[in-house]
Amino acid sequence: MKQGKDNKPHIGIYGRRNAGKSSLINCLSGQNISIVSDHKGTTTDPVKRSYEILGYAPVIFIDTAGIDDEGATGQLRIQKSLDTLEIIDIAIILISNNEFGEFERKIIDRLKELKTVFFIIHNKSDIAPLDNKLKTSLETEFNVPVIDFSTLNRDKVSLVFDTIKQIAPENTWTFGSLLGDIVKKDDIVLLITPIDSEAPQGRMILPQVQVLRDCLDNHCMAMLIQDTEVEEFFRQGIKPRLAITDSQVFHKVKDLIPKDVPLTSFSIVLARSKGDFTNYLKGTPAISKLKDGDKILMLESCSHHVSCEDIGRVKIPNGLKKYTGKQLTFTFVAGLDSIPEPITDFAMIIQCGGCMVTRKQLLNRLKPAVDAGIPISNYGMTLAYLSGIFDKAVEVFKEL
């Protein structure tokens, strides 16, 4: 379930067994995409469903198990539902029969901790309409919309969608420019994109594509070259406003870029837009303080085939050992899988660019480490530090 594979707003639906969570998804989408039954506990594991809300964005609905499930297996199902709270952008608390109590409050308390927005839907209004006193009480206590609803008709579907649009965090539906505050129209941006064994056949990797598109959106002149062509490029007498490279070739290109040309990497650009940039800046220099026996947690946002040139599993670990001269151990976690050890066991956390997950998912992923005071870094910043150009690689952003 917890795999970072879709950079779309995630909307989780939480409620007791038979509250109508699956029916709600079917009603909102106008399709029978979730299995519905009168028997309690039909939905056992969280299930993702894609849908596009017009005027907002393509979204992922997450259908979860009942938060009042029973028995040992039921507790496991509840925990899986609770785990999804860390990856959602918006929550819908679904109640019925005017029942609201400790089950719902537990979910809401966690949403508040995660600073995740939510609203409440009272379902099955055709059987038992929402009591006005309960509606007023919930609206007053939580300051959220409360909608009386029935999945037997779609009369209020537009109201639900309007509510989603109304409460959605801005960063889930407006995608700010990656470079818009650095470059301007007609600026030349040099994109250094090596082609190695990790480059997908016939394609570019997603961060490179995202930065290229952002250059076009800002009406810049983007020039793409491989790392083997950097020296010849500058012989042409062209001076770009900014050079952006793949982090893995920092050590190759750092001495080929004129000192007055700002240099950064695709991973660092994404880290500023999506990651915990401030804490990355603070945490990266902790590399110099690593000691023998320290554990490093490497967080990847996607699952992929591992090659001998893998940046997170090979190049960075080898680079850290060589730079520090210390005996370090590494734990690798792909997608949004659970971390197998207590976060406090680690001396440092290093997160990939996160191009395959939402900003909310990435920040929630890092929050336990930040709260515990554990240094965090980013793939690009780590490689810049190991290459001795950390200050230069982040300078263009720190100036802002």
Asked if residue 144 and residue 241 are part of one domain, the reply reads no
Asked if residue 161 and residue 42 are part of one domain, the reply reads yes
Residue range 226-246: mean pLDDT, rounded? 95
Nearest to 241 by CA among 227, 260, 256: 260
Residue 2 included in any domain? no
pLDDT at 2: 43
Judged by average pLDDT, the poorest of 5-9, 53-57, 172-176 is 172-176
Q: Are 103 and 16 in contact (CB under 8 A)?
A: yes
Asked if residue 310 and residue 197 are part of one domain, the reply reads no
pLDDT at 55: 84
Residue 63 has pLDDT above 60, yes or no: yes
Residue 383 included in any domain? yes
Residue 181 included in any domain? no
CA dist., res. 160 & res. 147, Å (int): 8
Asked if residue 354 and residue 298 are part of one domain, the reply reads yes
Asked if residue 199 and residue 161 are part of one domain, the reply reads no
**Structure-model confidence comparison of residues 138 and 153, the more confident one:** 138
Give the CATH number for residue 136: 3.40.50.300
Asked if residue 318 and residue 290 are part of one domain, the reply reads yes
Q: Pull the structure tokens for residue 79.
A: 């925990």
Range of the domain at 378: 280-391
CA dist., res. 274 & res. 135, Å (int): 37
Model-level pTM greater than 0.75? no
The b/e string for 195-225 (b: 16+ C-beta within 10 A; e otherwise) is eeebbeeeebebbbebbbebbeebebbbeeb
Asked if residue 327 and residue 196 are part of one domain, the reply reads no
- Beta carbons within 10 angstroms of residue 1's beta carbon: 16
Asked if residue 192 and residue 168 are part of one domain, the reply reads no
Asked if residue 250 and residue 133 are part of one domain, the reply reads no
The total domain count for the chain is 3
Residue 400 included in any domain? no
List, in order, residues 6 or more apart from 229 with CB less than 8 Å away: none
Q: Pull the structure tokens for residue 303.
A: 């699952």
List, in order, residues 6 or more apart from 86 with CB less than 8 Å away: 114, 336, 361, 364, 365
Helices 379-386 and 266-274, packing angle to 10 deg: 130
| Span 158-201, pLDDT tens digits | 999 999 999 998 766 655 688 999 999 999 999 999 886 566 67
Asked if residue 347 and residue 200 are part of one domain, the reply reads no
CA dist., res. 305 & res. 313, Å (int): 11
Give the CATH number for residue 330: 3.40.50.11410
Asked if residue 194 and residue 165 are part of one domain, the reply reads no
pLDDT at 305: 47
pLDDT at 1: 39
Asked if residue 330 and residue 235 are part of one domain, the reply reads no
Q: Are 83 and 33 in contact (CB under 8 A)?
A: no
pLDDT at 3: 41
Residue 399 included in any domain? no
